[in-house]
Chains A and B, each alone.
Chain A
């Protein structure tokens, strides 16, 4: 696997980040070092081992279907300047 500027730009774009040229230059050797270090785990034999998505057993739980009072419209909109007529205002979709 080749870690180069193009790969970093592609990953950053996927993550919705615009990196500056300086950031790309800084991250490139760092990512090579880190991913090289992470690759060490390939040496561990994990044949027939199940993955642990959590450290402790988590049961599937369904709560009782009891209606509760949700946030009011006012509360939901309290933390944004971008709102209009009781709705969130966002950037243009197209």
Chain B
């Protein structure tokens, strides 16, 4: 059942929203026991919202594009009164006293928030294995010995596994929507930087963070994106451009021209991934969509390094505020400021957070800043130009989302940190340059999922929705 059909049944009381919400929560708990997709299941809030909607149904006040839709939220997005930790122990016990703008907008349209989904602590990972201290690693819905992908692994896993209408609010800094969407076989759309307000999002890297959507089909994705997109006075980096009616583009026909990124299909990619992606491109070509090979040499050679230099530099400053005062993890107040702060941070950040803070601090220290951080900012300019040149001729660029299918946990353990970072080779570019991108499943249904990724020019989310609509119909 798609979201629009579901909403109609809720509004007409054919589906009892309170009973259905209980069923959704029960199902989430059952799945969570086995797969660890939620850090918190917010049953109390969900039932409270369901009861409120029930009252409105009785009064025939059923306005809302998400009326009764169950929405999960990545842990780094603040939900009022629900423990929100960005997957890290350092935010233990933190219950925001406000809603992030995306949550406020979703609630206004009748969404029911069901819980906070698992992530790599602060988004630090491509596999969701870098969870915070005392958190559990989520497991791939197709094979529990494999990773979900990260960092929005919980969002992707529950989207795949929950067999009831549901949409996920997730977040990407360098590929955290696309990667888990690919490994878990769902749709993941990361919008243009600034298209969706970041107010209430716990920063990883503020020039790169974007809140986006995960769903089972493109219509659901378009409906939620349409609700959460738009300018917000509370976020000075949110764009003032008008929001298009995204759901209208799901079935809209147009002549799209697609560039196939040749570097993405070169050596190092799993043959099954390459075959699935090329088969889908062939089907598009056979259906009248023009395709042509293109090149993004700079992005594919230096994208990962540039992305990490910028993100780690920014994150090392963003995480400076977490110190065991005012909110989050606390210990007995002992020693002076520096001693107390250092003790808290050392005891509550996981290894990956420490590693990234040290790298970022190093990259912005006097004497190194020009060689690393400032240089990376300039390389980013060149990469944006490289993309923009292609977008003059092409509507979309296509490549695999990840170079592989979901790896097994022991395979991830063998990767060195740099090999680990290089897994973001496909996703670093569009994230670094702020371009909207979408991953959707494209492989044979009886195998592990393979993701195909499309990237569009800034604010051209509608083209991503169009192409996803076309591919869904080809299946």
Contacts and interface: CB of A to CB of B under 8 A. Distances in A.
B305 interface: yes
B207 A55 contact: yes
B349 interface: yes
Interface in A2-40: 7-8, 11-19, 23, 26-27, 30-31, 33-35, 37-40
B237 A54 contact: yes
B133 to A, nearest CB: 14
Given A52-B381, A54-B193, A92 B325 contact: no
A75 B340 CA distance: 24
Contact of B380 (A42, A51, A58): A51
B142 interface: no
B199 to A, nearest CB: 13
B38 to A, nearest CB: 21
Contact of B379 (A41, A61, A76, A82): A41
Contact of A17 (B93, B95, B345, B384): B345
Contact of A27 (B334, B336, B355): B355
Interface in B409-461: 416-418, 421, 432-435, 458
Contact of B377 (A26, A52, A79, A93): A52
Given A14-B365, A75-B97, A80-B325, A33 B381 contact: no
Interface residues of B, number: 74
Contacts of B298: 44
A45 B176 CA distance: 30
Contact of A58 (B194, B302, B309, B379): B194
B333 A89 contact: yes
B122 to A, nearest CB: 14
B26 interface: no
B207 A33 contact: no
A23 B351 contact: yes
Contacts of B21: none
A17 B358 contact: yes
Given A46-B382, A56-B434, A91-B339, A16 B416 contact: no
Given A11-B365, A14-B365, A34 B93 contact: no
Interface string B368-392: 1001101111111110100000000
Interface string B235-263: 01101000000000000000000000000
A23 B346 CA distance: 11
Contacts of B327: 79-80
B362 interface: yes
Contacts of B306: 41
B380 A93 contact: no
A88 B376 CA distance: 39
B362 A11 contact: yes
In this complex, the member of A55, A61, A78 whose beta carbon has the largest number of chain B beta carbons within 10 angstroms is A55
Contacts of B349: 17
Contact of A71 (B97, B192, B328): B97
Contacts of B204: none
In this complex, the member of A35, A76, A91 whose beta carbon has the largest number of chain B beta carbons within 10 angstroms is A91
Contact of B337 (A78, A82, A93): A93
Contacts of B355: 27, 30-31
Nearest to A55: B434
Given A16-B323, A56-B193, A34 B417 contact: yes
Contacts of A63: 233
A82 to B, nearest CB: 6
B343 A18 contact: yes
Nearest to A79: B327
B97 A44 contact: no
B346 to A, nearest CB: 4
A18 B344 CA distance: 10
Interface string B329-354: 01001111111111101100101001
B208 to A, nearest CB: 8
Contacts of B208: 55
Interface of A: 1, 7-8, 11-19, 23, 26-27, 30-31, 33-35, 37-42, 44, 46, 49-56, 58, 61, 63, 71, 75-76, 78-82, 88-94
Closest 9 CB pairs of A and B: A55-B434, A51-B377, A79-B327, A91-B340, A46-B378, A18-B346, A75-B97, A49-B378, A52-B381
14 contacts: A34-B417, A34-B418, A38-B363, A40-B305, A41-B309, A49-B378, A49-B381, A51-B378, A52-B380, A63-B233, A79-B93, A81-B330, A91-B337, A91-B339
Given A18-B342, A42-B371, 14 more contacts: A11-B361, A11-B365, A16-B345, A17-B346, A40-B305, A44-B298, A44-B302, A51-B381, A52-B384, A53-B207, A55-B193, A56-B193, A76-B326, A88-B325
